[in-house]
Structure 1
Amino acid sequence: MGRLLALDFGKKRTGIAVTDELQIIASGLCTVETTDVIQFLSEYFEKESVDVIIIGEPKQMDNSVSESEADIQKLLPKLKAKFPDMPIERVDERFTSKMAFETMIDSGLKKKQRQNKALIDEISATLILQNYMTRL
Structure 2
Amino acid sequence: ARSQCFPRLSEAAQDRLAAYYVEIRDEARKAAERDDTDSSPVPVTVRQLEAIIRISESLAKMGLQTTATLEHVEMAIELFRKSTMDAVKSGVVAYNVATDPQRERIHRLEDKIRRRVHIGGNITTRRLLDEMVALGEPEA
TM above 0.5, one fold? no
- Which structure would you say has the larger RCO, counting Cα contacts within 8 Å and 6 or more residues apart? 1
Q: Which one has the bigger helix percentage?
A: 2
Normalising to structure 2: TM-score of the pair?
Answer: 0.32
Normalising to structure 1: TM-score of the pair?
Answer: 0.33
Q: Which one has the bigger strand percentage?
A: 1
